[in-house]
Amino acid sequence: MARRSVPILRHLLTKPTTPTLAPANPTRSVTYMPRPGDGTPRAVTLIPGDGIGPLVTNAVEQVMDAMHAPVYFETFEVHGDMPKVPDEVIESIKKNKVCLKGGLATPMGGGVSSLNLQLRRELDLYASLVNCVNLPGLVTKHENVDIVVIRENTEGEYSGLEHEVVPGVVESLKVITKFCSERIARYAFEYAYLNNRKKVTAVHKANIMKLGDGLFLESCREVATKYPGIDYKEIIVDNCCMQLVSKPEQFDVMVTPNLYGNLVANTAAGIAGGTGVMPGGNVGADHAIFEQGASAGNVGNQRILEKKKANPVALLLSSAMMLRHLQFPSFADRLETAVARVILEGKCRTKDLGGQSTTQEVVDGVIAALE
């Protein structure tokens, strides 16, 4: 691929050099020009989920209603102990193209399949994106953290291919394919290019898993050659974890196989302020599911649920990502600005952020900040 040219907008926004009758405005804004019909309300499939899921998804519904956002929800009851995702839910997501989801509990062991994995496979949601960034006003050990973890979502250790060879011996297969590796690498580099990011780091363990992770690394290298304007780095996953907790500001966009991405995203989220404030989404060519970015299977504990003190910030920011995905950028900006203002003021914070507020108090604060 030839070196990409300087975006035309940069030329259009440059102050003209020829004399004009009126002085040129050096800070001209670019107006978002929607296509006819773009403002039509969009249907979104809503899965409240388990535990604190209904509490935080209700928070999103309240804020969307207060914003008069052009979306409406089709709600379905889905729980992690179900044998499979109901067909009508899959059909709704395929029809609407977009879903907002609370946490779905995944039973430990017992051969019960994760519904989160079922959704990703059924809809081919091959890319998981988690944005781990410092929020102004939220004190953390590290500053200037702004990491986007892009994780391959459909294969690797999550392929679900396990069997007992003989009693007491279980074999689990890790599947890595060139197709999926190249696809996630292209997504990561294209994301970096479109969002003016400077560096993509591939996380691997190719020094030990020479064929599997080696194929992933080879695919990333091939894609990197097509984006000469983006710095490309590689890092072994164990060193990556050490570097994350010591100097996280060195990372920008990170692209990973499935399991490593889960670990890296949760580590980065903890560094940047906790899983309760990190938005995320799972996207494919045709569909997208937005949910809490890190620890998406975390449904909270009974005590938080009883006191109704679950943190809704992560899902509110994920819903802002959803609005931008639906091409409603002004609504997304309003919501993100309101959430940031509430965090900065510090009056409405749940316990994980150092406060004692209830979920509803945080929601009321965000709604007040919208006005």
DSSP string across 39-103? TS-EEEEEE--STTHHHHHHHHHHHHHHHT-SEEEEE----TTSSS--HHHHHHHHHHSEEEE--
* Residues 72 and 41: beta-carbon distance below 8 Å: yes
- The structural domain count of the chain equals 2
Q: Give pLDDT, residue 110.
A: 60
Rounded CA-CA distance 304/307 in Å is 5
Q: Give pLDDT, residue 255.
A: 98
Residue 26 inside a domain? The answer is no
Phi then psi for residue 363, to 5 deg, are: -60, -45
Residue 7 inside a domain? The answer is no
Residue 225 inside a domain? The answer is yes
Q: Give pLDDT, residue 126.
A: 95
Tokens of 241: 């974890």
Give the burial class of 81: count Cβ atoms within 10 A of its Cβ; 0-12 exposed, 13-18 middle, 19 or more buried: exposed
**How far does Cα 330 stand from its chain's mean position?**
19
Q: What is the pTM of this model?
A: 0.86
Q: Give pLDDT, residue 31.
A: 62
First to last CA, the chain: 47
Domain boundary among 229, 255, 272: 272
Strand partners, 151: 128, 256
Q: Give pLDDT, residue 80.
A: 83
pLDDT by residue for the chain (371 residues), tens only, comes to 444 444 444 443 444 444 444 444 455 556 666 677 677 899 999 999 898 999 999 999 999 999 999 999 999 999 988 889 999 999 999 999 999 999 888 877 665 678 888 999 999 999 999 999 999 998 888 989 999 999 999 998 887 788 889 999 998 889 999 999 999 999 999 999 999 999 999 999 999 999 999 999 999 999 999 999 999 999 999 999 999 999 999 999 999 999 999 999 999 999 998 888 999 999 999 999 999 887 755 677 788 888 899 999 999 999 999 999 999 999 999 999 999 999 999 899 999 888 899 999 999 999 999 97
**How far does Cα 317 stand from its chain's mean position?**
9
Residue 32 inside a domain? The answer is no
Q: How many CB atoms lie within 10 A of CB 298?
A: 19
226 and 299 inside one domain? no
263 and 296 inside one domain? no
310 and 330 inside one domain? yes
Strand partners, 202: 234, 255
Q: With H, G, I as helix, E, B as strand and everything else as coil, classify residue 20.
A: coil
Domain boundary among 243, 272, 301: 272
145 and 268 inside one domain? yes
Rounded CA-CA distance 273/134 in Å is 7
**Residues in the chain, overall count:** 371
Q: Give pLDDT, residue 285.
A: 93
Phi then psi for residue 329, to 5 deg, are: -65, -35
Report CA-CA distances (Å) from 280 to 5, 148, 149, 206, 276: 30, 10, 9, 27, 11
Q: Give pLDDT, residue 10.
A: 44
96 and 56 inside one domain? yes
Report CA-CA distances (Å) from 246 to 119, 241, 249, 268: 35, 9, 9, 11
* Residues 213 and 205: beta-carbon distance below 8 Å: yes
Q: Half-sphere exposure of residue 269, counting CA atoms within 13 Å on the CB side?
A: 24
Give the burial class of 96: count Cβ atoms within 10 A of its Cβ; 0-12 exposed, 13-18 middle, 19 or more buried: middle
Q: How many CB atoms lie within 10 A of CB 341?
A: 16
Residue range(s) defining the domain that contains residue 250 = 141-272
Q: Kindly state the helix (H) or strand (E) to which residue 131 belongs, with its residue range.
A: strand 127-133
Q: Give pLDDT, residue 29.
A: 58
* Residues 370 and 67: beta-carbon distance below 8 Å: yes
189 and 268 inside one domain? yes
* CATH number for position 339: 3.40.718.10
